[in-house]
Amino acid sequence: MTIQILMPALSPTMTEGNLAKWLKKEGDAVKSGDVIAEIETDKATMEVEAADEGRLGKILVQAGTQGVAVNTPIAVLLEEGEDDSALAKAAAPAPAAAPAAAPAPAQAASAPAPAAAPAAAPQASAPAHGGGRVFASPLARRLAEQAGLDLKAVTGTGPNGRIVKADIEAAKAGGTAKAVAPQAAAQAPAAAPAAAPAAAAPAPKAAGIDAKDLSDKLGMRYKAQPNSSMRKTISRRLTEVQQTVPDYFLAIDCELDALLKVRSDLNARSKDYKLSVNDFIIRAAALTLKKFPNINAAWSEEAILRYDHVDISVAVATPTGLITPIVKKAETKGLAEISNEMKGLAERARDGKLKPEEYQGGTFSISNLGMYGIREFAAIINPPQACIMAVGAGEQRPVVKNGALAIATVMTVSVTVDHRVADGAQGAEFLAAFKKLIEDPLSMLL
Spatial separation of the C-alpha atoms in residues 4 and 195, rounded to whole Å:
18
The count of other CB atoms within 10 Å of the CB of residue 359 is: 20
The count of other CB atoms within 10 Å of the CB of residue 301 is: 4
CA 120 to chain CA centroid, nearest Å: 29
* Rounded (10°) CA dihedral 286, 288, 294, 300: -20
Residue 129: active-site member: no
165-174 helix and 138-147 helix, angle to the nearest 10 degrees: 20
Which listed residue (419, 420, 426, 436) is catalytic? Answer: 419
CA angle 32-34-35, nearest 5°?
140
What is the three-state SS of 60-86?
CCCCCEEEEECCCEEEEEECCCCCHHH
CA angle 435-281-266, nearest 5°?
105
Q: How far is CA 277 from CA 152, 274, 294, 437, in A?
A: 47, 10, 26, 13
Spatial separation of the C-alpha atoms in residues 261 and 263, rounded to whole Å:
5
Spatial separation of the C-alpha atoms in residues 391 and 253, rounded to whole Å:
10
- Residue 88 host element (H or E): helix 87-90
The candidate with the shortest Cα–Cα distance to 34, out of 138, 157, 159, is 138
Concatenate the DSSP letters of all residues of 246-289 into one string.
-EEEEEEEEE-HHHHHHHHHHHHH-SS----HHHHHHHHHHHHH
Spatial separation of the C-alpha atoms in residues 140 and 164, rounded to whole Å:
5
Spatial separation of the C-alpha atoms in residues 304 and 142, rounded to whole Å:
29
- Residue 177 in contact with residue 155, Cβ under 8 Å? yes
Point out the residues that are catalytic.
419
